[in-house]
Amino acid sequence: MAQMRTPIESGVPDNKPYLHPTLLKNYGNWKYHDRPRPGVLHHVSHSGDEVWSVRAGTQRQMDVYTIRKLCDIADTYAEGHVRFTIRSNIEFMVSDPNKVAPLINALEESGFPVGGTGNSVSMIAHTQGWLHCDIPGTDASGVVKALMDELYDEFKREDMPNRVHLSTSCCEINCGGQADIAIIVQHTKPPKINHDLVANACERPAVVARCPVAAIRPALVNGKPSLEVDEKKCICCGACYPPCPPMQINDPEHSKLAIWVGGKNSNARGKPTFMKMVASGLPNNAPRWPEVSEMVKKILYTYKADARPWERLSDWVERIGWPRFFEKCDLPFTKYLIDDWRGSRANLNASTHIRF
Amino acid sequence: MAKKMHATPMLDELESGPWPSFVTGLKRLAKDKDYMVDLMGQLETSYQTRKGYWKGGTVGVFGYGGGVIPRFTELKDAEGKPQFPDAAEFHTLRVQPPAGMHYNTDILRKMADIWERHGSGLIAFHGQSGDIMFQGAKTDKVQDAFDELNELGFDLGGAGPAVRTSMSCVGAARCEQSCYDEARAHRQVLNTFTDDIHRPALPYKFKFKFSGCSNDCMNSIQRSDMAVIGTWRDNMRTDETLARKWFEKHGMNELVNDVINRCPTKTIMLKEVKDVAKGDKISSVKINDTQCLEIDNSNCVRCMHCINVMTGALAHGTDTGATILVGGKRTLKIGDLMGTVVVPFMPLKTDADYQQLVELGQKVIDFFAENALEHERTGEMIERIGLVNFLEGIGLEVDANMVSTPRTNPYVRADGWDDEVAKINARKQAAG
Ligand code: HEM
Ligand code: SF4
Ligand code: SF4
Ligand code: SF4
Ligand code: SF4
């Protein structure tokens, strides 16, 4: 056998060779920025240098032809340098304002919408889904494509009260993360256990330890060592599935989508906030998930109509209060939205602050 | 020539509409890759049955214990043969990006060529932890793909109970809000832990994230075990030309409603120029000939709001560094946790400052490795043992900035109180 190649453990690559020359020259010396139009940032350095960045949406999971197309555009119109944002938008930097319009045209003609800056709805941060994860209740790229088709104009405009970040997650583990509006798959039934397979496939103490509510017990089933679940305790989180695939949590019928709102990662104005669950029970209707987009749009446009300038979704709800949020968005407030997990009393209203 | 495409009526639906479609990309790849023809077959089946069909396994590259996410199909026929045999294996390589996710076209084309030769041709820029995800390679191609990417100067990121790939914002490269060199911190800290990235041996995952200011574009408070967030200690800087320009364009209503009223600590005031306070904590800037903004920097919590609205007219100070928070994470197992302040301010300017940051990271990881239970994140460990034990473990002094409020419950044994007071007084005295 040929000798195996030893890896070069180089870690994080240096970004200096990839920086646009104007960025490299003015590194750490920027003075201010403005936005000449949606999708374009204009940064001015203390040195007087200026740079224009054009931001475009991508499908995130890109085929090599798409990547090469983006490279062609960057070579022809944008001095050969790009960067990606945390929400999988691509940015092209140019040092000449006259290059901005042709670059925008080239991007849009090739099907990449220009936008995602300022008070727009940016691209949705998303997870893996059926394309690659081993526990997904739904797809990720598909949900995002379907939703971004609906929000296309909001990506290209900057007329929300403040920026709006969305995320999707294909199970409650929520790799997608915190967002102003998040869509998360929720299992609604305890796992179905294939007892014949447990003994071979699962390290039982590890599975027992994984359960957040201690609902799993070792058991003998049909004379074989297996596991059983106290279904009254089970919160259907799915955490037992990865270490023990015979504990089948996915269910084509009963895995539903839930909507969460008001997550904010920035410290601007208020402290960062976690997002809160406001709706559940939406059907997992591939390939377009119409019930989900309808509800997301309802929340989004209620916010747009009602919030004041610079209010993020969480700032808006803080001003109008949760009861009015549910009223205005026409969402039922059910008992499932009252937290009963540890620390939950901090989320209850210990005051007479009530709006009438 | 690729094999015949499977019917994919549901995926086809996702080709219509204005947003770029990943399905169109998959089809382009399927034109000459049997691999992708079958991948589409399996994905369409998921759409039809609303079930996922991948399971994990073990696949890696020589010398490393992690960084490849193995996927094998579970979609099999009655005889146990894969229903879509060409895509029975679909592994992902997690690859660490340059800080700030900057590229030139030359490197992107090289990556695309490598992945076209050895993998599916599908690449995600980027995953939620920051990796470039080279999605879809067969077991016997993983090593070749890695070797070529590695020769290009790229390395695998983390998976499993390891230090994970990190992210840093665009920061100093193009953002006036940046308070330190994020790329430098990212690289210097992460590359200290290369071994812990490649050979998973921690109790569970550990994530660093680097944001240049408290706008926290990297979402580090909620999503990293150690968040390094830029801030400053001295006074806000101002620029009269830009302030006047802003005011001419936006007017008094916006100034009052959007800037002054939205300051969380009510530290900005509108004043007649002649009435502006004096003092070494006061910043002020004229917005016209008679009025100006006055900021009492001792009450500014460095939230960034006013700076975001009036970019350039107001700017952060020059005594810059970072606030460090530990213990953020998402759901599993005890619910969401935010990071907690453990260092209110660490200057980040000199080589020694950056070295200090690296050393803190090292201490936190060492403590985590020794004290966390299996499958327990840093935040959960801190909740279990209490913040004070954690701070003592890594050698940090307590600070009132670490809490929202002091304790409200009386269940504490305080017989060491006098000793603690004496220690703190001695320390104050020593500091002069
Ligand atoms: C079992 C299969 C799983 C798969 C295939 C999977 C997949 C992924 C992927 C691809 C990412 C982005 C990675 C990157 O950018 O490098 C991610 C991020 C993440 N994963 Fe998972 N994941 C799995 C399990 C889990 C589990 C068990 C947890 C929690 C206990 C989890 C929590 C997260 C979180 C919180 C993120 C976002 C991280 C961040 O913002 O930095 N995932 N996951
Ligand atoms: S959210 Fe759940 S299903 Fe989706 S990628 Fe993360 S772990 Fe997998
Ligand atoms: S689904 Fe969650 S709560 Fe239910 S048994 Fe499994 S780990 Fe426990
Ligand atoms: S976190 Fe701050 S410094 Fe970094 S890109 Fe965002 S606004 Fe700029
Ligand atoms: S940065 Fe300071 S002065 Fe400005 S809004 Fe925030 S707290 Fe107020």
Name the residue type at position B99. Answer: A
- Rounded CA gap, A276 and A46, in Å? 42
Across the interface, whether the CB atoms of A67 and B43 are under 8 A apart is answered no
The pLDDT, as a whole number, for residue B223 is 93
Name the residue type at position B98. Answer: P
- Among all bound ligands, the one having the nearest atom to the CA of B331 is 1
Exposure on the CB side of residue B145, measured as CA atoms within 13 A: 31
Q: Which residue has the tokens 């090292």?
A: B362
At CA A144, angle to CA A143 and CA A147, rounded to 5? 85
- Rounded CA gap, B151 and B149, in Å? 5
In contact, B383 and B338? CB cutoff 8 Å: no
As beta bridge partners, residue B396 has none
- Rounded CA gap, B426 and B432, in Å? 10
- Rounded CA gap, A284 and B273, in Å? 61
Q: How far is CA B329 from CA A176, B75, B80, B208, B338, in A?
A: 12, 33, 39, 11, 7
For residue B388, give the DSSP letter. Answer: H
Query: pLDDT digit string (tens) for B259-288?
Result: 999 999 999 999 999 999 999 999 999 999
- Give residue A288 CA to ligand 5 midpoint distance, Å: 43
Min Cα distance A223 → chain B (Å) is 26
The pLDDT, as a whole number, for residue A171 is 86
Name the residue type at position B277. Answer: A
The two structure tokens encoding residue A272: 């960062």
The pLDDT, as a whole number, for residue B373 is 93
The pLDDT, as a whole number, for residue A342 is 82
At CA B101, angle to CA B187 and CA A85, rounded to 5? 130
Across the interface, whether the CB atoms of A12 and B335 are under 8 A apart is answered no
- Rounded CA gap, A211 and B343, in Å? 33
- Rounded CA gap, B341 and A274, in Å? 17
Number of Cβ within a 10 Å radius of residue A356: 3
Which segments in chain B show pLDDT lower than 70? 1
Q: How far is CA A250 from CA A130, A246, A256, in A?
A: 12, 11, 10
Q: Which atom of ligand 3 is nearest to the CA of A211?
A: 7
- Please spell the DSSP secondary structure of B219-287, one letter per residue: -HHHH-SEEEEEEESSPPEE-HHHHHHHHHHHHHHHIIIIIITT-TT--EEEEEGGG---STTEEEEES
Across the interface, whether the CB atoms of B11 and A43 are under 8 A apart is answered no
The pLDDT, as a whole number, for residue B5 is 96
- Rounded CA gap, B410 and B390, in Å? 21
Count of residues in chain B: 432
B195's enclosing H/E stretch is: helix B194-198
Q: Collect all residues with Cβ–Cβ distance below 8 Å to A190 and sequence separation of at least 6.
A: A215, A229, A231, A234, A236
A310 to chain B: closest CA residue: B258
In contact, A186 and A280? CB cutoff 8 Å: yes
Show residues of chain A in contact with B147, CB under 8 Å.
5
B103's enclosing H/E stretch is: strand B102-104
- Give residue A15 CA to ligand 4 midpoint distance, Å: 17
Return mean pLDDT, chain B.
96
- Rounded CA gap, A196 and A6, in Å? 42
Q: Which atom of ligand 2 is nearest to the CA of A127?
A: 5
Interface of A with B in 22-81 (CB under 8 A): 23-24, 27-28, 30-34, 43-44, 51, 53, 57-68, 70-71, 74-75, 80-81
Which segments in chain A show pLDDT lower than 50? 1
Query: pLDDT digit string (tens) for A192-217?
Result: 999 999 988 899 998 998 898 999 99
The pLDDT, as a whole number, for residue B1 is 56
For residue B423, give the DSSP letter. Answer: H
